[in-house]
Amino acid sequence: MKKMLMILSVTRLLPHILLFNCHKNKKTIHYDVERWLKEINCRTNIQFGFITLMTFYPEYRNLFYKRIGAIYLLMNWLCPKMNTLFILTKNIGPGLFIQHGFATIIAAKSIGSNCFINQQVTIGYLNKTDCPELGDNVTVNAGAKIIGNVKMGNNSIVGANAVVVKDVPNNCTVVGVPAYIIRKNGIKVREEL
């Protein structure tokens, strides 16, 4: 059944496949696909992997459409994006993975490489100008909030439902409301931000 759906899906995805192979952001888009395939434990070639992601993962569609720009408006009706996931960040490094993505708003100044964002997350503005910056390899778990002019250090983890309103150093895990550090450079601690 899945194979039949994939075959039918190829027809509607022809313009998407063309952009996947020819767009100016091709290198980043291919990196994204490789990361997503690794995260969902799908071993296949990149072309078939792209078709799989576009067919079964609406969260991926949102990221793909963000990568290709306004031209997505001509194709969204063929393969709709997830309507409860909002990616408002302009500068997104390669390898962003969004698991579930339901009720998620991503409005950061920038997001580094290989970040992981779960469902019901808000990354956003405190006022008209202050929004977060996420470093490389940042993980934001379900229900977490990162608000305002906050810098998330490289390799940092935000626990489920944590509220981050202050900078988080590199290599730290934070939890709680307001968030505090429980792990720093692999060592258990309890430090205020």
The pTM assigned to this predicted structure is 0.93
Question: Are 179 and 113 in a shared domain?
Answer: yes
Question: Are 92 and 32 in a shared domain?
Answer: no
Instruction: Give the pair of three-digit tokens for residue 94.
Output: 């390669």
Question: Are 57 and 100 in a shared domain?
Answer: no
Question: Does the CA dihedral 4-65-147-167 come out positive or negative?
Answer: positive
Quick: pLDDT tens for 40-72.
Answer: 999 999 999 999 999 999 999 999 999 999 999
Last residue of a domain, one of 48, 74, 100: 74
Number of domains in the chain: 2
Q: Is residue 80 in some structural domain?
A: no
Question: Are 34 and 116 in a shared domain?
Answer: no
Specify the amino acid at residue 93: G
Question: Are 25 and 49 in a shared domain?
Answer: yes
Question: Are 112 and 169 in a shared domain?
Answer: yes
Question: Are 158 and 179 in a shared domain?
Answer: yes
Q: Is residue 57 in some structural domain?
A: yes
Q: Determine the structural domain holding residue 131 and report its residue range.
A: 85-192
- Tell me if 83 sits within 8 A of 62, measured CB to CB: no
Q: What region, left, alpha or beta, does residue 92 occupy, with left being phi > 0 and alpha being psi -120 to 50 degrees?
A: beta
Q: Residue 72's closest CA among 61, 83, 82?
A: 61
Question: Are 115 and 169 in a shared domain?
Answer: yes
Q: From residue 28, how far is each of 32, 79, 131, 161 by CA, in Å?
A: 6, 21, 24, 30
- Tell me if 67 sits within 8 A of 108, measured CB to CB: no
- The structure tokens 């309507």 sit at 83
What stretches in the chain show pLDDT beneath 50?
A: none
Question: Are 62 and 128 in a shared domain?
Answer: no
- Tell me if 174 sits within 8 A of 190, measured CB to CB: no
Q: Is residue 17 in some structural domain?
A: yes
Question: Are 103 and 186 in a shared domain?
Answer: yes
Q: For the domain that residue 111 is a member of, what is the CATH number?
A: 2.160.10.10
pLDDT of the residue at 54: 95
The Cα 88–Cα 68 span in angstroms is 14
Q: CA-based diameter of the chain, in Å?
A: 54
Last residue of a domain, one of 32, 50, 74: 74
pLDDT of the residue at 189: 94
Question: Are 107 and 38 in a shared domain?
Answer: no
- The structure tokens 């968030």 sit at 179
Question: Are 124 and 179 in a shared domain?
Answer: yes
pLDDT of the residue at 98: 97
Q: Is residue 79 in some structural domain?
A: no
The Cα 140–Cα 183 span in angstroms is 15
Q: Is residue 159 in some structural domain?
A: yes
